[in-house]
Structure 1
Amino acid sequence: MGVFFNKIDKEQLKPGDHIYSWRQAYLYAHHGIYIGDGKVIHFTQGTGQEIGTGTILDRVIFSSSPSHSSDNPCPRCGDQTRLGGVVCSCLDCFLWGGKLYLFEYAVNPAVFIAKARGGTCTLAASDPQEVVLHRASYLLENGFGVYDLFKNNCEDFAIYCKTGLLVFTSISVGRSGQLTSFVAATTAILSSPLRFLTTSFPGLTAVGCGMYCISRLVSDIGVRRDVTKVPVENLVKRLVAPCPGVVSEASTETDKKEVISNASTEIVMVSEASTETDKKEVISKASTKIVKTD
């Protein structure tokens, strides 16, 4: 593997590896956990279940779905085109015709910065193989909440399986290095202080690159202080146990499912929050998000 690309051969894979494959001309990478026997557990948004943005983001989400059409299902996986959430696919369906890459853990800051593209490595250390496989299998059976491109995507799933770390803040883009990289680039480009530091184009470029690298570094899951290690059993308990009083007041089954979905993404384990301020923030956000249906 090189500094800029983490390409790996299928024969080199080991159970518990966090792998990814680029989609849409390197616009986006889909992530998963290799469990052995040519199979991958990953978190996806099924075809036909778009997030409703009405933009190219819907096509990006679709590209994380298994590659076979419903008319020509994979002989190993069957028809998974309508499946969403945590699924188990064969390696070929996961790759969708793309190349195979290995996500790196416990890299040093110099290597992290050298890999200018986010979503390829982290400073955080991986847990032992058996722990990673247990988390992935447990979430395959119990789910990982509702897919959200910005706060709960496939990279977030894979990083949680490898580290057990969750982020506790309402302004975060989750654990995803891809989204963190995008935010860092946007901040570097739009930041008004740049014009006060230098007026030359080379100077602006240097300052912008510096801000981009620093922003990526301090946002990495291995550096942040607003993260907590959460056992997978505790995570699932919070996801499947939203506010019962609110659910019972919903007027239809559709409303109830919507309330449950919202709760599973908005309630971020108050009991696991690191400070009283974090707990109050979580409670306040949940109370404004959940709307009772007459």
Structure 2
Amino acid sequence: MGLLSNRIDRDSLKPGDHIYSWRTAYVYAHHGIYVGNDKVIHFTRGRGQEVGTGTVLDVLLLSSGPAPSQPCSICPPQEEGHGVVSSCLNCFLAGGVLYRFEYGVSPALFLAKARGGTCTLAVSDPYNIVVHRATYLLDNGFGCYNVFNNNCEDFAIYCKTGLLVVEEGTIGQSGQAISIIGWPLAAVLSSPVRLITNMYGMAATAVGVYCASRYAADIGRRRDVVNLSVEDLTVRLATGRLQVVEAVGATPAPTISQ
């Protein structure tokens, strides 16, 4: 792994790896769990789950599903369902480059990788547990897809750590969602600096606010999470104990009822 890139070769893939590939001119990446035998389990906005923010962001973020340039002889056609699917590696990458998400990184490395959605301070569970969670959710689903609260990166992070965000109205585990929201927020918070400093000072302040918000919101530091077994998660979804809550300007996302 390098400081600037998490790019890897296919030969270095191992079952339980959290992998991703950039989409839409590096605006958004699609994430999944490699389970071996050239298969990736991932959470999509597939048929029957075409939901998003209801804003112009959906134009940029609608690339989360597998999109092979030609029909695949290995992967079956995607049917309506709960959104968790298994694809071959080629379909998952959709012509993109393969990257591996890093776990248990140091705070210094985390802040050096300014782009969210590439690493976390949280530590991964053993590979067999990760693969078990992913295959279990392939059969049982991961709730309703939501770009900011319950997306493909949230799915992969849950499979790797068992951690789930539990507070209503908060952003999910996704580092790239934090990044998408973080830069505009940092610009707004730093705007008063225009009155007391120059453009360079304002830019430095914005970067500082952005880095601090990313660090505080990382799944490895948050306090609004629980460690939930995949079996318990599925039972809660099936019985309604994971309630679907409407968020303003967004589609429903699952949160744990109190």
The answer, yes or no, to whether TM exceeds 0.5 is: yes
Within the alignment, does 1:13 sit opposite 2:13 as a pair?
Answer: yes
Q: Which has the higher contact order (CA 8 A, sep 6+)?
A: 2
The more displaced of 191-200 and 159-168 is: 191-200
Residues 77-103 of structure 1: per-residue CA shift (max 9 Å, x gap): 022276661000000000000000000
- Structure 1 residues 239 and 81: CA distance shift in structure 2, 3 A: closer
Q: Is the 8 A contact 2:149 2:253 kept in 1?
A: no
Corresponding position of 1:167 = 165
Looking at CA atoms only, which structure, 1 or 2, has the larger radius of gyration? Answer: 1
Q: When the two structures are superposed, what TM-score results if normalisation uses the length of structure 2?
A: 0.89
Question: What is the SS of the residue equivalent to 1:138?
Answer: helix
Question: What is the SS of the residue equivalent to 2:255?
Answer: coil
Whole-Å Cα distance in 2 between the matches of residues 124 and 214 of structure 1? 17
Corresponding position of 2:222 = 224
Residues 232-291 of structure 1: per-residue CA shift (max 9 Å, x gap): 111001111127xxxxxxxxxxxxxxxx8669x656333xxxxxxxx3xxxxxxxxxxxx
After the TM superposition, list the runs of 4 or more consecutive aligned residues in structure 1 that deviate by more than 4 angstroms: 81-84, 260-263
The more displaced of 49-58 and 129-138 is: 49-58
Within the alignment, does 1:26 sit opposite 2:26 as a pair?
Answer: yes
- Identical amino acids, percent of aligned pairs: 54
- Structure 1 residues 167 and 49: CA distance shift in structure 2, 3 A: closer
Whole-Å Cα distance in 2 between the matches of residues 58 and 48 of structure 1? 18
Q: Is the 8 A contact 1:20 1:30 kept in 2?
A: yes
Gap runs ≥5 in structure 1: 244-259, 271-278, 280-294
1:1-294, aligned counterparts within 5 Å? 1-46=1-46, 49-51=49-51, 53=54, 55-58=56-59, 60-61=61-62, 63-68=63-68, 73-80=71-78, 85-191=83-189, 194-195=192-193, 198-242=196-240, 268-270=255-257, 279=258
- How many residue pairs get aligned? The number is 251
Gap runs ≥5 in structure 2: 247-251
- Structure 1 residues 194 and 114: CA distance shift in structure 2, 3 A: farther
- Structure 1 residues 186 and 202: CA distance shift in structure 2, 3 A: same
The alpha-carbon deviation at position 66 of structure 1 amounts to 1.8
RMSD (CA atoms): 2.3
Q: When the two structures are superposed, what TM-score results if normalisation uses the length of structure 1?
A: 0.79
**Match of 2:135, as an amino acid?**
S
